[in-house]
């Protein structure tokens, strides 16, 4: 089954209006004529309107870095999915490792965020991945399976039909370490196999991204792997 690639740029808590405009303009130019792959840029919420104005109706799509699991209500500081939709977002990242580990977002919270985003027509990018201790203890698959558990029970798997999954080895983010293409492929294959146990059709078409350190000198080898989209 043919799967469409997706390249996502996440700025974390960085950026200014000037830098947002500059990067968005460069991505728009670089995306011209590109086929077979989507490009999404995920700036901080305060820069969504800046990037939206620059990408316009180009091939570059807009994404946010998180969303509230609540549709509305008295949740000061949160951003409702309706607000992201109004800002023009096509994607939203949920369950990024920093949200899971620093802000203690549980897998159930991540699942709630993904579900509410999808219902609003925004594609959730569901992040999963292991920390260094789990990798060293041979518990990578167990960690990833636990993070995906809410999506692999009963009808919840349908969320994965419209979502994107991003595998981000936490030990390879901002540390200078990089998972080898073979290590990344092994986890991607495990994720696809895990989904296949519930729904083979969803597993065949699921887009699974690698969210570790991707650089010019390792990108081609990573993207050659069968299960890395």
168 noted as active-site residue:
yes
Options 69, 105, 130, 168, the catalytic residue = 168
Distance CA 45, CA 51 (A): 10
Q: From start to end of the chain, where are the E strands?
A: 5-10, 37-42, 60-64, 91-94, 123-128, 164-167, 207-210
Helices (H), 105-214: 107-119, 132-136, 140-148, 158-161, 181-196, 200-205
Q: Which two tokens stand for residue 225?
A: 């792997």
Catalytic residue among 96, 98, 105, 188: 96
105 is catalytic: no
Q: How far is CA 172 from CA 68, 163, 169, in A?
A: 27, 24, 5
In angstroms, the CA 54 to CA 60 distance is: 9
The Cα–Cα gap between 169 and 167 comes to 6
Active-site residues: which are they? 96, 168
């Amino acid at each position: 089954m043919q799967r469409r690639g997706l390249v996502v740029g996440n700025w974390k808590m960085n950026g200014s209006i000037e830098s947002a405009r500059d990067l968005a303009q460069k991505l728009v130019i670089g995306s011209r004529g590109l086929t077979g792959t989507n490009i999404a840029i995920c700036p901080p919420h305060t820069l969504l309107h800046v990037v939206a104005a620059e990408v316009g109706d180009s091939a570059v799509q807009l994404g946010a870095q998180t969303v509230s699991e609540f549709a509305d209500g008295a949740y000061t500081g949160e951003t409702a999915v309706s607000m992201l939709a109004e800002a023009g977002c096509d994607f939203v990242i949920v369950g990024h490792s920093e949200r899971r580990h620093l802000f203690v977002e549980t897998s159930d919270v991540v699942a709630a965020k993904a579900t509410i985003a999808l219902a609003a027509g925004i594609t959730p990018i569901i992040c999963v991945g292991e920390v260094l201790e789990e990798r060293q203890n041979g518990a990578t698959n167990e960690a990833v399976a636990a993070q995906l558990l809410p999506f692999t029970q009963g009808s919840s798997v349908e969320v994965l039909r419209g979502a994107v999954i991003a595998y981000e080895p936490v030990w390879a983010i901002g540390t200078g370490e990089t998972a080898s293409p073979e290590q990344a492929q092994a986890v991607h294959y495990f994720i696809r196999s895990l989904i296949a146990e519930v729904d083979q059709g969803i597993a065949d078409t699921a887009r699974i991204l690698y969210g570790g350190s991707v650089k010019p000198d390792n990108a081609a080898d990573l993207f050659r792997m069968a299960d890395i989209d």
